[in-house]
């Protein structure tokens, strides 16, 4: 693969999302190894700022770059558009400190670059692949990069708002999927926070033509481009921040509740990890590598669906209370998800006129998430999990039909075949249930059905 740039000069006018200033941007071809650089034509000497991690100066409501007294803000859409189309080298000339926001997505820049045309340069492009997983966590935020044969992003967002709630999307990112599935997704915000944002110097150029505005009970725009447009935009922002590493990377990125401050911190970790140049396609292990024994090779960031979960634990419907599990750390942390439909069998009797999820089943769902974490280990796969004790259980809010439970599991103390686990259950970011429980993993007695027989 060769490095690329655009074919000819193109330009766009508009307003800056945060400054609200009229702004003019000119995109010009650039030579090999130039990278992406923003040029302030309005300043003496026309200083340049290279789009790289060392020049990140701000990550609040967008990514800002700076060098000395020169700064450019909200650059992530342009960077994502360039790398999404395979453009390595680009000169971006501005007459103020913020490029045009366009319609709030990367689509205007994609259309502009395609109008210009994309041409190859003589210099080869180096693609890097991970040699080992990289994980980042901060509170409820998790980002994991796994070695992969493709560039893939799996993203989950969670908002305490009925019009967004929990959204998940997983895509192999290539030119076509970026153009069609990611680039058109617009930035979004909440009506309740607009006034406060503008008083703090943000979103002064924002309006319904360049952002999705979400009210308390309706979306103020005429329509969405995708039912899950917010999570798609988060993937675009993540791409813009990841490519500040200035390398194409083969990896599967799994992100939960990501944002610019965490994206750039995670990208710094990527920049420091073990990587190697990929000169030709190679066979690289993926997230769910099937082992000869039929199990699953669990790594940091592995995401398991119901089929994989049932390969690991013996529970089966109607007593399987976890739909999806993300392994944050194979030894200590996992997140489980369970969507509660109106058709769950227990709502008919608990209670007929006021259906509420039984607290015991919430506890069971957290315990099953912990079982996935432990029994995924090959040395423990043949054992059965048993509760030994539950303490400090608190049921803070009821859980109703139509809710998705997010269960965070963390090992407090572990021995070879027993341990103490902390579990917390959230619905729409509100803590509903918490507890600690002790478990033991025991050998199956003669006559017990083995896990393989269940499978």
Domains and CATH numbers, the chain: 1-287 (3.30.1700.10), 303-454 (3.10.129.10)
Q: What digits encode the pLDDT tens for the residues 136-157? A: 888 889 899 988 888 999 999 9
pLDDT digits (tens, 9 = 90+) for 87-120: 999 999 999 999 999 999 999 999 999 999 999 9
Burial class (CB in 10 A: 0-12, 13-18, 19+), 236: buried
Residue 187 host element (H or E) = none
pLDDT attached to residue 131: 79
User: Among this protein's residues, is 24 annotated catalytic?
Assistant: no
pLDDT, position 300? 66
Write out the DSSP string of 14-40: EE-TTT--EEEEEEE---TT--EEEEE
Given a cut of 80, is residue 301 above it in pLDDT?
A: no
Residue 222 CB neighbours (<10 A): 6
For 132-141, 205-214, 273-282, 298-307, which range has the lowest pLDDT when averaged over its residues? 273-282
**Cα distance between residue 308 and residue 425, in whole Å:** 22
Phi/psi region, residue 175 (left: phi>0; alpha: psi -120 to 50; beta: rest), is alpha
Task: Give the residue with greater pLDDT, 452 vs 12.
Answer: 12
Long-range contact pairs involving 44-52 (C-beta distance under 8 Å, separation at least 24): 46/93, 51/75, 51/79, 51/243, 51/244, 51/246, 52/244, 52/245, 52/246
Q: What is the pLDDT of residue 448?
A: 46
CA–CA gap between residue 251 and residue 130 (Å, rounded): 7
Instruction: Say if residues 147 and 284 touch (Cβ distance below 8 Å).
Output: yes
Number of helices (H) and strands (E), helices first, in the chain? Answer: 9, 26
Q: How far apart are CA 90 and CA 78, in angstroms?
A: 10
Residue 87 has a CB neighbour count (10 Å cut-off) of 23
pLDDT digits (tens, 9 = 90+) for 378-406: 777 777 778 788 989 999 999 999 888 98
- Residue 450: its pLDDT value, please? 37
| Predicted pLDDT of residue 287 | 31
Question: Mind listing the pLDDT tens digit for each residue in 350-387?
Answer: 998 899 999 999 999 999 999 898 888 777 777 777 87
Phi-psi region of 61 (alpha: psi -120 to 50; beta: other; left: phi over 0): left
Q: Of these residues, 252, 260, 262, 315, which one is catalytic?
A: 260
414 bridge partner residues? 419
Q: Which residue is it, tokens 């999404």?
A: 84
Looking at residue 292, what is its pLDDT? 31
Percent of the chain at pLDDT > 90 equals 58
Average pLDDT, the chain: 87
From the candidates 24, 67, 161, 350, give the one annotated as an active-site residue: 350
Residue 452 CA from chain centroid, whole number: 33
What is the CB neighbour count within 10 angstroms for residue 366?
27
Q: What's the rounded Cα separation, in Å, for the pair 172 and 372?
A: 26
Q: Is 343 helix (H, G, I), strand (E, B) or coil?
A: coil
CA 39 – CA 93 distance, rounded (Å): 5
How confident is the model over 23-44, as pLDDT tens digits?
A: 999 999 999 999 999 999 999 9
277 pLDDT band (50/70/90 cuts)?
low
Distance CA 215, CA 192 (A): 7
For residues 235-256, give the mean pLDDT. Answer: 94
User: What backbone torsions phi and psi does residue 405 show, to the nearest 5 degrees?
Assistant: -85, 135
Give the CA angle between residues 261, 262, 264 to the nearest 5°.
Answer: 70
- Under the banding of pLDDT at 50, 70 and 90, the label for residue 275 is low
Q: For residue 241, give Cα distances in angstroms to 93, 177, 262, 276.
A: 20, 18, 10, 21
- pLDDT band, residue 285 (cuts 50/70/90): very low
Written as one string, the DSSP assignment of 209-226 is TTSEEE-SSSBSSS--SS
Is 233 a catalytic site residue? no
Mean pLDDT confidence for 225-253 = 95
Nearest residue to 88 via CA among 39, 141, 33: 33
Query: The tokens of 435 are what?
Result: 């507890």
Residue predicted with more confidence, 114 or 324: 114
Residue from 252, 241, 84 nearest 176 by CA: 84
In the chain, pLDDT over 70 holds for what percent of residues?
91
Which runs of consecutive H residues, i.e. helices, occur in 151-259? Answer: 175-177, 191-199, 229-242
CB 385 within 8 A of CB 441: yes
Residue whose pair of structure tokens reads 């710094």 in the numeric block:
268
* Helix-strand-coil split of the chain, %, nearest 5: 25, 35, 40
């Amino acid at each position: 693969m060769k490095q690329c740039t655009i074919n000819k000069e193109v330009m766009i006018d508009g307003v800056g999302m945060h400054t609200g200033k009229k702004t003019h941007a000119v995109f010009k071809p650039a030579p090999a190894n130039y990278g992406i650089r923003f040029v302030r034509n309005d300043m003496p000497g026309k200083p340049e700022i290279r789009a790289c991690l060392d020049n990140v100066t701000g990550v609040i409501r967008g990514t800002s770059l700076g060098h000395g007294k020169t700064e450019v803000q909200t650059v992530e859409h342009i960077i994502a558009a360039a790398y999404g189309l395979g453009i390595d080298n680009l000169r971006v000339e501005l007459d103020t400190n913020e490029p045009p926001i366009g319609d709030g997505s990367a689509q205007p820049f994609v259309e502009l670059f395609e109008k210009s045309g994309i041409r190859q340069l003589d210099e080869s492009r180096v693609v890097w692949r991970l040699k080992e997983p990289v994980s980042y966590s901060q509170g409820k935020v998790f980002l994991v990069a796994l070695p992969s044969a493709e560039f893939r992003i799996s993203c989950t967002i969670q908002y305490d708002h009925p019009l967004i709630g929990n959204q998940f999307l997983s895509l192999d990112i290539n030119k076509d999927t970026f153009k069609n599935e990611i680039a058109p997704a617009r930035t979004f915000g909440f009506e309740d926070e607009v006034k406060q944002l503008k008083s703090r110097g943000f979103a002064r150029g924002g309006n319904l033509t360049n952002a999705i505005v979400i009210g308390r009970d309706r979306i103020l725009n005429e329509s969405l481009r995708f039912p899950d447009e917010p999570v798609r935009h988060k993937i675009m922002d993540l791409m813009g921040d990841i490519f500040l590493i200035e390398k194409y990377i083969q990896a599967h990125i799994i992100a939960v509740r990501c944002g610019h401050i965490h994206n750039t911190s995670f990208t710094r970790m990527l920049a420091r990890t073990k990587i190697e140049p990929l000169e030709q396609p190679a066979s690289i292990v993926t997230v769910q590598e099937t082992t000869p024994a039929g199990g699953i090779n669990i790594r940091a960031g592995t995401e398991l669906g119901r089929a994989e979960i049932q390969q690991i634990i013996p529970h089966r419907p109607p007593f399987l209370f976890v739909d999806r599990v993300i392994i944050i750390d194979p030894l200590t942390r996992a997140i489980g998800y369970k969507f509660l439909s109106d058709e769950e069998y227990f709502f008919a009797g608990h209670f007929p006129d006021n259906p509420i999820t039984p607290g015991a089943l919430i506890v069971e769902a957290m315990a099953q998430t912990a079982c996935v974490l432990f029994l995924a280990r090959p040395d423990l796969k043949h054992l059965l999990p048993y509760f030994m004790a539950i303490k400090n259980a608190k049921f803070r809010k009821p859980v109703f039909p139509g809710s998705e439970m997010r269960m965070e599991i963390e090992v407090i103390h572990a021995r070879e075949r027993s341990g103490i686990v902390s579990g917390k259950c959230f619905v729409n970011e509100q803590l509903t249930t918490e507890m600690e429980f002790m478990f033991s993993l025991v050998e199956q007695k003669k006559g017990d059905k083995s896990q393989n027989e269940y499978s």
